[in-house]
Amino acid sequence: MSHYQDYKARFESNRTALVVPEDCKPGVPEYHPFLDLIDPHSWDFSWWLRFADKHYIVCHEIWGYRSGRSPLRSYFSFHYGPIVRVDKNGNIERDPSNPLELRICKSNKSCEPSHLHYKKPHPAPHYEQSRVDGLVLNEVDMFQFVKAVFRSRAEKIELDEAMGFTLR
Amino acid sequence: MSETVLTFAEVKIHLRELQKKYGCSNREFLDDPEVRARVLDEDEFKWEAYLTHVEAMREYEEELHREYLSHVVPPSEHHKDEKDEEKVVAQLALAA
């Protein structure tokens, strides 16, 4: 099985096991393999989840690999916050200055190491790993993020507690 | 599940659209934090994705090229082989 097929199987397995709260409506996961449907050398992925109280989660990932090497997640962004604006088709429109609860992201291309934004959007300072305890930002998994948001909402606790991190 | 294969032509078109929309190059998008700050979140993700796809394709092409070159016999080796063959033919002719 190819890395891409493994990725899809892992996602579907995690999604099947996920207990989704009643007020959450997960969207259709969107896969974009490049050039090849079976064994692409790169692909991108998006998954949106909406809540009845006009909040949302969006998970974006970009993966690639070279022959003989393990796949590398070159970009990810896991975002949770209120919906500020939707377009005429009902799609959520996002702006870097929109309010947010938590966003964890990384971009290899623009040399942005893994960091998080907590409760304050751009241009508030990013919290890089050196200022975050209890969580390895580079290894955060989308289901770890989604489950923490679910737990935070269900138990009415802050997301830092649900994700298990503290900020310096 | 939605699954759509992206072609190289589509990626090139989308990259041109993004460059036009924000009035900057791919390099500026990657290197200039001020440019990046005004790029909408969805566009940022797509831009990153398209650039990653182009890079992955280039790396794959380079791999293929290296693989091809590793199987090509250098011209000097060809020449040597031809000379060896000529000697054998000459020896066979003498023996006959």
Per residue in B69-94, pLDDT (tens digit) is: 888 877 766 666 666 677 767 776 77
Structure confidence at residue A15 as a pLDDT band (50, 70, 90): very high
Tell me the C-alpha to C-alpha distance, in Å, between residue B57 and each of A13, A40, B8, B41. Answer: 29, 10, 9, 25
For residues A33 and A4, the answer to whether their CB atoms sit within 8 Å is yes
Q: What is the mean pLDDT of chain B?
A: 86
Please tell me which residue, B28 or B79, carries the higher pLDDT value.
B28
| Separation CA B22–CA B38 (nearest Å) | 8
Structure confidence at residue A48 as a pLDDT band (50, 70, 90): very high
List the single residue in A29, A75, A94 with the smallest CB-CB distance to B48: A75
Contact list in B for residue A96 (CB cut-off 8 A) is 37-41
pLDDT tens column, A66-99: 877 889 999 999 999 999 999 999 999 888 888 9
Residue A30 in this model has a pLDDT that exceeds 70: yes
- A residues 79-108 lying closer than 8 A (beta carbon) to B: 79, 93-96, 98, 107
- Look at B49 and A32 and tell me if their CB atoms are within 8 Å: yes
A44 touches chain B (CB under 8 A): yes
Structure tokens of B79?
């020449």
What mean pLDDT do residues B25-42 have? 90
For residues A111 and A119, the answer to whether their CB atoms sit within 8 Å is no
Structure confidence at residue B33 as a pLDDT band (50, 70, 90): confident
Shortest Cα–Cα distance, A19 to chain B (Å) = 18
Structure confidence at residue B54 as a pLDDT band (50, 70, 90): very high
Domain that holds residue A39: 3-167
Structure tokens of A62?
């970009």
Pick the range with the lowest mean pLDDT from A12-16, A125-129, A157-161, B5-9.
A125-129
Is ipTM > 0.85 here?
yes
Structural domains in chain A (count): 1
What mean pLDDT do residues B26-50 have? 92
What mean pLDDT do residues B36-52 have? 92
Buried b (16+ CB within 10 A) or exposed e, B53-80: bbebbebbeeeeeeeeeeeeeeeeeeee
Shortest Cα–Cα distance, B20 to chain A (Å) = 19
pLDDT tens column, A99-154: 999 999 998 877 788 999 999 887 777 899 999 999 999 999 999 999 999 999 99
Please tell me which residue, B91 or A168, carries the higher pLDDT value.
A168
